[in-house]
Amino acid sequence: MSDDLDAWLDESYPRAYRAACLVLRSPADAEDAVQEAFLRVWRFRDAIPPGDGRRAWLYRVVVNACLSRMRGDRVWRERGGDEALASMPSQLDPQRDVEDAELARCISDALARLPEHLRVPVVLRYFSGLPEKEIAVAIQRRPGTVKSRLAEARRRLSEDPALMAWTTLEVAQ
């Protein structure tokens, strides 16, 4: 592998893996999906757009790999909110802030209840930090669609029971 591409993939892998975990809710599935995505990236490395465009391109490949995984895995479809919650690592790092851990758990729970077409833009926007334009490239939709989906996702998360307390706390503060 060329050095430049190698370094970029090394740098991007952890974030892409974690994003896939948030979307798929399963580390094993996320690892397979990201592996497949990066292999595709390598195979079509000549098509990688230069500059900032490559991040969106990479996430597009990762998202497609995740969606393929989700749509092809019947067991995954049958997972409900409780099962999704159970798949999350239960062991908390004791050194982590309890509040953060609790927030993480609530977010994961609420995220699991979001449909995939809303979950993916949320993860790309608030975890991967992609702007709406790049999210549009990643999920192959128009920027207007991305905006409306993000708005709908925020609305649903705000009304989610798991996050209700947090939103109330925020308002109180």
Partner 1 sequence: MITDELLERGLANAAEEYDVPADALMKLRSELSPAPVRRRLHVRMPRLQTRGRWLAAAVAVIALVGIAIGVGGTNSGSPDRNVLFAGKSPSGVPPKSLDRGAFNAAPRAIAAQPPTTVTAGGLVGAHAPAGTTPSVPSVPSVVPNDSLTKIISTGEIDLQAAKGRVHDTYDRLVAIATLEGGFVANSETNEGSDPTALVTLRVPSSAFDATITKVRGITGAKVLSLQTKTQDVTASYVDLKARLHALSTTRSTYLTILSRASSIGDILAVQSRINDIQMQIEQLQGQLNVLTDQTSFGTLTVTVDQKAAPAAVVHRQSGMSRAFHRSVDRFVNGTEAIVGVVGPIALVVLILAVLWFGSRLGYRVLRRRMV
Which residues of the shown chain bind partner 1 in the complex (CB under 8 A)?
Answer: 1, 9-10, 13-14, 17-19, 21-22, 27, 30-31, 34-35, 38-39, 42, 88-89, 96, 100-101, 103-108, 111, 122-123, 126-127, 154-155, 157-158, 163, 166-167, 170
Token pair for residue 12? 């991007």
Instruction: Tell me how many degrees the CA angle 80-63-88 measures, rounded to the nearest 5.
Output: 35
User: Which CB atom, from 58 or from 157, has the smaller least distance to partner 1?
Assistant: 157
User: Which CB atom, from 25 or from 60, has the smaller least distance to partner 1?
Assistant: 25
Closest approach, Cβ 154 to partner 1, in A, equals 6
Closest approach, Cβ 56 to partner 1, in A, equals 18
User: Which CB atom, from 139 or from 163, has the smaller least distance to partner 1?
Assistant: 163
C-alpha distances (whole Å) from 95 to each of 22, 52, 84, 101, 165 are 22, 36, 25, 10, 24
Nearest to 20 by CA among 39, 35, 10: 35
Token pair for residue 74? 């019947």
Closest approach, Cβ 32 to partner 1, in A, equals 11
Q: What number of CA atoms fall less than 13 Å from residue 34's CA on the CB side? A: 21
User: Which CB atom, from 9 or from 67, has the smaller least distance to partner 1?
Assistant: 9
Closest approach, Cβ 91 to partner 1, in A, equals 9
Query: How far apart are alpha carbons 85 and 112 in whole angstroms?
Result: 8
Closest approach, Cβ 141 to partner 1, in A, equals 20
User: Which CB atom, from 33 or from 136, has the smaller least distance to partner 1?
Assistant: 33
Output b/e per residue, 77-109; b: 16+ Cβ within 10 A.
eebeeeebbebeeeeeeeeeeeeeeeeeebbbb
User: Which CB atom, from 19 or from 61, has the smaller least distance to partner 1?
Assistant: 19
Closest approach, Cβ 135 to partner 1, in A, equals 14
